[in-house]
Amino acid sequence: MEIFDVNKFIDNILSYTNSNGELLCSNKKQDLIYTDFDDIVPFLLYFKQQKAVKQQIVLSQKKLYKGFFPIERYLYSFRMDEYLGGILTYYEHTKDEYVKPIYEQQFDLLNSFYELKYFPTYIDIKTGKVSKSVCSRGYNLVEVILESSIPSTKFKNKTLEILDNFIDNNIFFNKNGLFLNKYIYKKSKFEGKFFNIPDFISFIGKSSYFKDYFIGNAKKVLFDNVAISDIKLMKDNSNLIFSIIEAFKFTGNEKYKLFVKKFIETVETKMFNKKGYVYTSFLERRGKSVLLTQNFTFLDILLDYFYYIENDKKIEQLIIKITEFWLSKKIDCGLIPDSPLANSNIFLDNQTDFSIVLKKVATITNNQKYYNAGKDLHKAIISNFYNGKYFYARLNASIVPLSDIVNVKYNLLFLKSYIAYKTELNPFNSIFKDR
């Protein structure tokens, strides 16, 4: 008899609520799940939990700002995709008219962004102030809108216009092939600089910024006035690249292919070690940091490029090289350490996502070996992380849980791996995306 009862597991995870019945992010904090809503809704709907999803939508209504779930007094563009995606997925699945006014409000707010010609980092919901800064990861809104069947073609085309404005007028990417974390939008150009010490000294030397920095809200002043940033593979680049891939799928426009190809070639040149792994951030900045998270994300980009854009043999070879490197690091219990360094911890979500990557690799290479490796990893996740009620979030190198925190999102995201290896669904189905 299988030790993992999926329905019992889901019921248990859905019990982590506050006194109002709102689903929490974990058993240790009162933060609500709505900022990760699109991470969980597809899997709950797959397992016929429509009532549970509807209940959470109803409970969230008093907390929304123009159809979105803010964090304290701010609505961040790089978190808006979660509630938007959850609502659109729920409506596509159920056709429940209850949520129609919600996504109509969401579209109205997005239309105001289209007038700005960029996705602002944040809106202050108390003052109505709209940030002058732009976070590249905020453009994952594009992916959510383009892949949904609900927005009209006209609305999707407006979404493409805002994406085009960002990537066509992105001075840093056009020169360097990578995206910065943030920009300032000035004179129809997205200005940004790679962070270095002289830039920061120059910043604090400007008395008006210096004063505001300490008297006002430091983070907001910094983001709205100084275009210095870092370059990270995960989120800042990957979210945007996935949106550009979605734009190619929607339009077939060759320019999107060229953007993705330029990014891949730059990563291979500046962030890739010939042993078979990529670094977490730009090589000149933190070249010694290597984690499975960034590697399965880059693999996902390569796989999407190969599957949706171009069957490039060089891309396939790169996919195999990175995959083989991480499989060579598998330890006796069947898991893949977070880092190739000795005594590395092991993160549940990394194992889940790498198991999906392996099924994708098996699909594009037609090699059963990778499917078997993914299925073995799936079984190892259950054997080592699951305690009969929930999955631990992290294990140490001795396969001992680091805490008893129940992370609701990571637990429900494990269902991605469960579906992948219990069904014949194509691993490129949207339910398997690293959302």
- Contact between 135 and 219 (Cβ < 8 Å): no
- Contact between 408 and 25 (Cβ < 8 Å): yes
Return per-residue pLDDT of the chain as tens, 435 residues.
358 999 999 999 999 999 999 999 999 989 999 999 999 999 999 999 999 999 999 999 999 999 999 999 999 999 999 999 999 999 999 999 999 999 999 999 999 999 999 999 999 999 999 998 898 989 999 999 999 999 999 999 999 999 999 999 998 999 999 999 888 888 889 988 776 544 444 444 454 444 444 444 555 555 566 556 678 888 889 999 999 999 999 999 999 999 999 999 999 999 999 999 999 887 655 556 899 999 999 999 999 999 999 999 999 999 999 999 999 999 999 999 999 977 899 999 999 999 999 999 999 999 999 999 999 999 999 999 999 999 999 999 999 999 999 999 999 999 999 999 999 999 999 999 876
Q: Of 176, 184, 186, nearest to 203 (Cα)?
A: 184
Please list the residues that pair with 337 across neighbouring strands. none
In whole angstroms, give the CA distance from residue 119 to residue 122: 8
- Contact between 233 and 294 (Cβ < 8 Å): yes
- Contact between 89 and 102 (Cβ < 8 Å): no
Q: Report CA torsion sign: 176, 179, 182, 188.
A: positive
pLDDT at 435: 66
3-state secondary structure of 17: strand
Tokens found for residue 21: 């019945």
> 198 exposed, middle or buried (CB, 10 Å; 0-12, 13-18, 19+)?
exposed
Q: Of 425, 417, 276, nearest to 355 (Cα)?
A: 417
pLDDT at 316: 98
Residue type (1 letter), 132: K
In whole angstroms, give the CA distance from residue 26 to residue 413: 14
Name the pairing type of β-strands 122-124 and 74-76.
antiparallel
pLDDT at 213: 43
Beta carbons within 8 Å of 286's beta carbon, 6+ residues apart: 279, 280
- DSSP-assigned letters across all residues of 236-276: IIHHHHHHHHHHHHHH--HHHHHHHHHHHHHHHHHSEETTT
Beta carbons within 8 Å of 124's beta carbon, 6+ residues apart: 73, 74, 130, 220
In whole angstroms, give the CA distance from residue 68 to residue 122: 12
Tokens found for residue 211: 């004063």
> 307 exposed, middle or buried (CB, 10 Å; 0-12, 13-18, 19+)?
middle
